[in-house]
Amino acid sequence: MIRILGIETSCDETAASVVALGEGEPQILSSVVLSQIEEHAAFGGVVPEIAARAHVEALDGIVEAALADAGTSLAEIDAVAATAGPGLVGGLIVGLMTAKAIAAAAHKPLIAVNHLEGHALTARLTDGLSFPYLLLLVSGGHTQILLVRGVGDYQRWATTIDDALGEAFDKTAKMLGLPYPGGPSVEKAAASGDATRFAFPRPMKGEARPDFSFSGLKTAVRQAATEIAPLSEQDVADICASFQAAVSDALGDRVARALARFRGEYPNVKTPALVVAGGVAANKTIRATLEALCRDNGFDFVAPPHALCTDNAAMIAWAGIERMRAGLVEPDAMDFVPRSRW
Ligand code: KG4
Ligand code: ZN
């Protein structure tokens, strides 16, 4: 039995979790996530300085709660895994240094985990997926398609050349005077909107280059909003619906390319899978687009539960277990320096 304490502080969630793996399926013994949304809402986005301070204040208590919820103590933990990058450096320092202190005091090994690896391996914790598979990560900080070949073996097939998709939602919401975080606000407003009223661009659609781009779309939204200002509630709803349709369409085009490439590179994989992760994956329009795309192309659509798709520490603890099992724990992890751009 391996039991690992995970710590995540790379953005605006302070999180700790204990995950165990014995003979059978892995078990999340606890997963505590404290969101700082309220601290940042007034600023319309995450303020790094405020985030770092909030992590300092909360982390000790969150770790204690995770151990208590799991009914365990540090003595029974096999290792401490912490996010060491990429992310906001203030938060990374708080999490990694706390993990080092706990590991040193309890005489346990430390595992420095890449946050993206945490997202990439979650589907193996929740769905027991086997390698290789495709991961679409769409959050406030990332928009990527990764080929997941094995533990520590990833290939980035596409990334955004400007804004992350969640960021595009957040900025659109801000422009329209909708509350932060923007994704859920835009989705809610879009429900009563006309998605055909504005013909927003579908950035990168049809292009050979595999990457994403969302800043042109943001500019188009700003122009439309400025032209028809002052905006009625219906105008806002129509802009949101049209924006969401453009985003889903653009995203679908990029993902379709990746599915085709996967088929080409792995013709022998019987049931290929696309895993989605990140806060934006909660969007129902986007989800429906991706589900249909997978169905049409013979891919399994794998969406881990929302709480494990957004930032959490269970995925970090699990990545620690995967690394330990694969013999990939760095012997000098205690010297590891946080890497904001890892
Ligand atoms: O994964 P996440 O919780 O945190 C990180 O960014 O790491 O993602 C947050 C992002 C925010 O930009 C938020 O606006 C977006 O996900 N989001 C959504 C929805 N829910 C959250 N975007 C579109 N539709 C949603 N329903
Ligand atoms: Zn994340």
- 134 annotated as belonging to a binding site for a ligand: no
Check if 122 has its Cβ closer than 6 Å to any atom of ligand 1: no
Residue 341 domain flag: no
Rounded to the nearest 10 degrees, what angle do helices 48-69 and 89-106 cross at?
30
Residue 39 above 90 pLDDT? no
- 117 annotated as belonging to a binding site for a ligand: no
For the CA of 284, the nearest atom of ligand 1 = 26
Give residues with Cβ within 8 angstroms of 128, minimum separation 6. Answer: 25
Domain count, the chain: 2
- 115 annotated as belonging to a binding site for a ligand: yes
Residue 41 above 90 pLDDT? no
For the CA of 164, the nearest atom of ligand 1 = 12
Residue 42 above 90 pLDDT? no
Residue 302's pLDDT is 97
Tell me how far the alpha carbon of residue 67 lies from the centroid of ligand 2, in angstroms.
Answer: 23
Buried b (16+ CB within 10 A) or exposed e, 90-125: bbbbbbbebbbebbeeeebbbbbbbbbbbbbbbbbb
Measured CA to CA, the distance from residue 278 to residue 288 in angstroms comes to 16
Check if 181 has its Cβ closer than 6 Å to any atom of ligand 1: yes
Tell me how far the alpha carbon of residue 223 lies from the centroid of ligand 2, in angstroms.
Answer: 31
Give the rounded distance of the alpha carbon of 113 from its chain centre: 14
Radius of gyration of the chain (CA): 20
Check if 282 has its Cβ closer than 6 Å to any atom of ligand 1: yes
Residue 45's pLDDT is 80
Q: Whose CA is nearest to atom 10 of ligand 1?
A: 140
As for the ipTM of the complex, it is: 0.98
Residue 149's pLDDT is 97
Residue 180 above 90 pLDDT? no
Structure tokens at 204: 């990168």
pLDDT in tens, 220-250: 999 999 999 999 999 999 999 999 999 999 9
Helix (H, G, I), strand (E, B) or coil at 304: coil
Residue 7's pLDDT is 98
Give residues with Cβ within 8 angstroms of 230, minimum separation 6. Answer: none
Check if 143 has its Cβ closer than 6 Å to any atom of ligand 1: no
Confidence of residue 40 (pLDDT cuts 50, 70, 90): confident
Residue 38 above 90 pLDDT? no
Residues 78 and 160 in one domain: no
Give me the CATH number covering residue 315: 3.30.420.40
Tracing tokens 């301070």 back to the chain, one arrives at 53
Give the mean model confidence (pLDDT) for residues 74-89: 97
Residue 331's pLDDT is 87
Residues 172 and 85 in one domain: no
Tracing tokens 């919401």 back to the chain, one arrives at 173
Measured CA to CA, the distance from residue 234 to residue 175 in angstroms comes to 15
Ligand in nearest proximity to the CA of 172 = 1
Residue 46 above 90 pLDDT? no
Residue 32's pLDDT is 97
Residue 295 above 90 pLDDT? yes
* DSSP labels, 17-73: EEEEE-SSS-EEEEEEEEE-HHHHHTTTS--HHHHHHHHHHHHHHHHHHHHHHTT--
Q: Determine whether 288 is exposed, middle or buried from the number of CB atoms within 10 Å of its CB (0-12, 13-18, 19+).
A: exposed
pLDDT in tens, 110-124: 999 999 999 999 999
DSSP H helical ranges for the chain: 37-41, 48-69, 89-106, 115-127, 165-175, 182-190, 215-228, 233-265, 284-297, 306-309, 314-325
Report strand pairing: 143-150 vs 2-8.
Answer: unpaired
* First and final C-alpha spacing in the chain: 30
Check if 30 has its Cβ closer than 6 Å to any atom of ligand 1: no
Residues 217 and 92 in one domain: no
Check if 189 has its Cβ closer than 6 Å to any atom of ligand 1: no
Domain of residue 101, residue span: 2-123+308-335
Check if 36 has its Cβ closer than 6 Å to any atom of ligand 1: no
Q: What percent of the chain has pLDDT over 90?
A: 91
Ligand in nearest proximity to the CA of 315 = 2
Residue 269's pLDDT is 96
Residues 191 and 275 in one domain: yes
Confidence of residue 43 (pLDDT cuts 50, 70, 90): confident
Identify which of 188, 192, 143, 191 has the alpha carbon closest to the alpha carbon of residue 168.
143
Residues 167 and 296 in one domain: yes
Q: Whose CA is nearest to atom 6 of ligand 1?
A: 140
Residue 213 domain flag: yes
Tell me how far the alpha carbon of residue 12 lies from the centroid of ligand 2, in angstroms.
Answer: 10
Residues 14 and 99 in one domain: yes
Confidence of residue 312 (pLDDT cuts 50, 70, 90): very high
- 140 annotated as belonging to a binding site for a ligand: yes
pLDDT in tens, 251-286: 999 999 999 999 999 999 999 999 999 999 999 999
